Amino acid sequence: MTMLFMAPKLKASSWVSHLREQGPDIDLRVWPDDGPREEVEFILSWKHPLGEFRNYPNLKCIASLGFGVDHILRDPELPPGVPVTRLVDAAMTRAMSEYVLAAVLNHTRGFTRFLRDQGRGVWQPRVPLHPSEVRVGIMGMGTLGRDAAGTLLSQGFPVAGWSRTPKQIEGVAAFAGPEGLDPFLTRSDILVCLLPLTPATREILDRQLFARLPAGAYLINAARGDHLVEEDLLAAISGGRLSGACLDVFRTEPLPAGHPFWGHPRIVVTPHIASLTYPGAVAPQIIANYHRVRAGQAPLNAIDFEKGY
């Protein structure tokens, strides 16, 4: 049973060395050097060339090399009946919580402004926002949203969470479903998007949603670029509805030269680094799933196609 690494935008050598070291018995190949295609039963995928999976007639598992699976599900020629798995990793979860906390603190303490002041030689103290007075709303109460909520709570921020199905999380004001969105938004001074990208969440961060936030709210999007209508964000900031944004993900990545987000005084841009995958750390769960599939068992962390995540 061949495992095929199909992630043209990732550095294959690092993945291959960790997988070979931790799974020496695995027949591992790197696309497009795939050998006999009928022997390929397990594909590791990150932003694969669309339509490529159909060339492998005996696929038993497609494993995302990240938490998200939208890059796999958008393939119109996804082979039916083949389970799709995602990564779930404590270090990546921790990294996302750190990112969210850093973005929240950057906003409440005004570091970006102080950096600008420094560049102009300006000494201009500003009183920081106090955590107890800044209500944070997290869209998506899954692996990442829950951990980020705990991190923010420990720093004294009042936290609310919004999810598809109702939740009970200690200390978190919980909202769910379309009917829970409005009351959730009206109490979110900082809105954090940690949703999976699905047909229901695509372009959810738009003009109508911004209009329901408290005036001057701040946006943090560390989920997917397609959650955001970029023009609506620019209009909301220039119209004063939002005070600014911290964005890690974009509709087009890398963010194209000349894009209005570059150099925008109220937008912080980071290059999709909120939570990177560490090949050495996640190799054991990939190898464990390979052995499960080989033994005829269902892989762990398989997504639900109905839900799309």
Q: Which residues are catalytic?
A: 224, 272
Please answer whether residues 161 and 169 qualify as being in contact, where contact means their C-beta atoms are separated by less than 8 angstroms. yes
CB of 96 to ligand GLV, least distance (A): 9
Does residue 68 interact with ligand GLV by CB under 6 A?
yes
Of 137 and 196, the one with the shorter C-beta distance to ligand NAP is: 196
Does residue 142 interact with ligand NAP by CB under 6 A?
yes
What are the tokens at 55?
């060339």
Among residues 23, 110, 137, 145, which is the contact residue for ligand NAP, using CB under 6 A?
A: 145
Per DSSP, what are the bridge partners of residue 160? Answer: 137, 173
Please answer whether residues 168 and 91 qualify as being in contact, where contact means their C-beta atoms are separated by less than 8 angstroms. no
Three-state secondary structure call for residue 67: coil
Does residue 71 interact with ligand NAP by CB under 6 A?
no
Does residue 274 interact with ligand NAP by CB under 6 A?
yes
Three-state secondary structure call for residue 139: strand
Does residue 197 interact with ligand NAP by CB under 6 A?
yes
Among residues 7, 141, 191, 219, which is the contact residue for ligand NAP, using CB under 6 A?
A: 141
- Residue 175 contact, options ligand NAP, ligand GLV, none, Cβ 5-8 Å cut-off depending on partner type: none
Residue 38 burial by CB count (10 A; 0-12/13-18/19+): exposed, middle or buried?
A: exposed
Q: How far is CA 71 from CA 28, 45, 47, 96, 169, in A?
A: 22, 9, 5, 19, 30
* Span of 5-13, 61-69, 138-146, 259-267 interacting with ligand GLV by CB under 6 A: 61-69
CB of 16 to ligand GLV, least distance (A): 19
- Residue 165 contact, options ligand NAP, ligand GLV, none, Cβ 5-8 Å cut-off depending on partner type: ligand NAP
Three-state secondary structure call for residue 162: strand
Please answer whether residues 247 and 193 qualify as being in contact, where contact means their C-beta atoms are separated by less than 8 angstroms. no
Does residue 136 interact with ligand NAP by CB under 6 A?
no
In this structure, how many other beta carbons lie within 10 angstroms of the beta carbon of residue 188?
25
What are the tokens at 172?
């978190």
Among residues 42, 67, 218, 290, which is the contact residue for ligand GLV, using CB under 6 A?
A: 67
Cite the DSSP H helix spans in 80-188.
90-109, 111-119, 143-154, 177-186
Which residues are at the interface with ligand NAP (CB under 6 A)?
66-68, 96, 140-145, 162-165, 194-198, 200-201, 222-224, 248-249, 272, 274-275, 309
Which residues are at the interface with ligand GLV (CB under 6 A)?
66-68, 277
